[in-house]
Structure 1
Amino acid sequence: MSASAATYNDLVGKRVLVAGAASGIGRCVAERFLTQGAEVIGFDRDADVADTPFRLWTVDLTKHEQVAEACARLQAEAPRLDVLVNAVGILRLGQTDSLTLEDWHACLDVNVTGAFYLLRQWISQFQRQRHGAVIHVSSNAAHVPRVGMAAYCASKAALASLSHCVGLELAAYGVRCNLVSPGSTDTPMLRSMCPSSAERQRLLEGLAEQYKLGIPLGKLATPDDIADAVLFLASAQAGHITLRDLVIDGGATLSA
């Protein structure tokens, strides 16, 4: 966590659910909410990780029954939910004509349908309590085409549209719904795709064969960079911000 990380006193005691909390951006977001004094519950398909400082439940967001059962358990404990963060995401690469059906459906199931399942369990609660914040972690790939990334780009663009539609439905109840869209971020997902420092340097310089610009700031994002934005959007300081998509990619998409 950066030394300059902001403090949001209004997040103390808030009840926060973070999906995708076992690793990467989701884990960082969950831990940062803890530092603000929030109560944090995490969902993840891979919840068998040691020493999480918050409750982490095994939930596969692509399984409607698992999502419904876990959310019902939380609502039985206490119906209130102040912040819902969806940081679940997978990447499947391949040209459209060679991409497997399994990879196509996996991207849509995890990146979009899982969010839909999660929202369905909480929309009525947000409407009853008439407050709350929803933040989805999307990607700058929702804004620009990439060669070999049709499934990922389509799924993240669909997530953005879903978020905006739900945000409109919830606005009348005082509930805000926003997205944070990272670019290349130093996470296990990126390191599995670019395991060497030379490959990561190419990301900074640009991949012409993929029509992918480099990163003007000359560095990868960190999970804390993304968590900073999530906490801000969850806080009272963002109290008049909804239906927005905050792109955090060091300038890589230029005009997004």
Structure 2
Amino acid sequence: MSADQELAGRLALVTGAGRGIGEAVVHALAERGARVLATDLATRRIAAAVAGRYDGRVTTRDLDVTDAGAVEALVENTEQTLGPLDMAVNVAGILRSFSVAELTDEDWAATFAVNTDGVFHVSRSASRRMAERGRGSIVTVASNAAGIPRTNMAAYASSKAAAVMFTKCLGLEVASRGVRCNTVCPGSTLTDMQRGMWAAGSPGDEEAGARSVLEGEAGSYRTGIPLGRIADPSDVADAVAFLVSDRARHITMHDLYVDGGATLRA
């Protein structure tokens, strides 16, 4: 089967699909023939983006991944109305960028509620059903911050590290039942979240923010990007599409860094 239809007939659940990497994942999977249930807190944007495209294979539903009951109800309804899930991709995430001294209890809890608990809720619900059928693939989009310390990102990095280890542990538990679980760890990517970080650091000067990412910042102990470019969301989405495909059929519990070498794979 050609690569552009390698996911034909398969059904994917994508969280955080309303913009950025999540939206790019929806397009990447649909372009390869998959049917996609695209979810987010508000899906109006993605619904408009896919209108008239993909022969109606993309369905949108609002979903709060922090609500375990809502996640379970959505997955159950999806399997009854659209069919069995073949793939689940956890993209939903938030960033609260503060030093530990400035980080509030609410910031910490909110970050883990989305970035870690959300991954747990979706993966638990999807993997139960996949394991019963003896097939399936789950990909968690984490961050290269999960593998290297970052200043002013303790909550975000910790929540992503927890999501990575959770996904690996799940992968170990369900491997014998034909379910693969992997993570994709992006570095700096041209999303609203990235632009928000630039605006906070250099208000009104996106070019300066981008330059600091490419060149690195000694004061914050951050290296630059050896490849000399900031990722496009499609770069991350293509990595996800590979991992859910049969081309990755012997890959599980793997961490795929998509960061242009920024972490030096430390």
Asked if 1:103 corresponds to 2:92, the answer is no
| One-letter code aligned to 1:89 | G
Q: Paired residue for 1:3?
A: none
Alignment partners' CA distance in 2, 1:16 and 1:52: 18
1:248 has 2:244 as partner: no
2:48 is equivalent to residue 51 of structure 1: yes
Aligned residues: 251
Alignment check: 8 A CA contact 2:4 2:31 kept: no
Q: Give runs of aligned pairs for residues 203-242 of structure 1, distance below 5 A.
A: 203-242=213-252
Residues 58-137 of structure 1 mapped to structure 2, 5 A cutoff: 58-137=62-141
Is 1:198 aligned to 2:195, yes or no? no
Query: Which of 167, 183, 186 is the matching residue for 1:182?
Result: 186
Which residue identity does 2:48 align to in structure 1? Answer: D
Q: Which moved more, 1:47-56 or 1:31-40?
A: 47-56
Residue 170 (structure 1) shift = 0.8
Offset of residue 10 of structure 1 = 3.0
Question: Which amino acid in structure 1 is aligned with residue 26 of structure 2?
Answer: A
TM-score of the aligned structures, taking structure 2 as reference length: 0.91
CA distance in 2, matches of 1:249, 1:89: 18
Q: Which residue of 2 aligns with 1:37?
A: 33
Q: Is the 8 A contact 1:19 1:44 kept in 2?
A: yes
Check conservation: 1:22, 1:56, Cα contact below 8 A.
no
Q: CA deviation at 1:52?
A: 3.6
Letter in 2 for 1:122: A
Q: Distance in 1 between matches of 2:209 and 2:236?
A: 22
**1:90–1:141 CA distance, 2 compared to 1 (3 A):** same
**Structure 1, unaligned stretches of length 5 or more?**
1-5
- 1:124-180 C-alpha deviation (Å, 9 max, x unpaired): 211111011110100000000011110001000000000000000110011110000
Distance 2:235 2:126 in 1: 27
Contact 1:107 1:152 in 2 (8 A): yes
Are the counterparts in 2 of residues 79 and 125 from structure 1 also a CA contact under 8 Å?
Answer: no
**Letter of the 1:227 counterpart:** A
Tell me which residue corresponds to 2:3: 7
Aligned equivalents of 2:141 and 2:91: distance in 1?
A: 5
CA distance in 2 between partners of 1:95 and 1:23 (Å): 27
Report the equivalent of 2:13: 17
* CA deviation profile, 1:56-104 (whole Å, cap 9, x unmatched): 1110001122212211211221451111111111111111121011111
Give the whole-Å Cα distance in 1 for the aligned partners of 2:84 and 2:49.
23
Match of 2:53 in 1: none
Computed over aligned residues only, the root mean square deviation of the Cα atoms, in angstroms, reads 1.3
Q: Which SS does the other structure have where 1:172 is aligned?
A: helix
Residue pair 2:6, 2:33 contacting (<8 A) in 1 also:
no
Aligned counterparts of 2:207 and 2:229: Cα–Cα separation in 1: 12
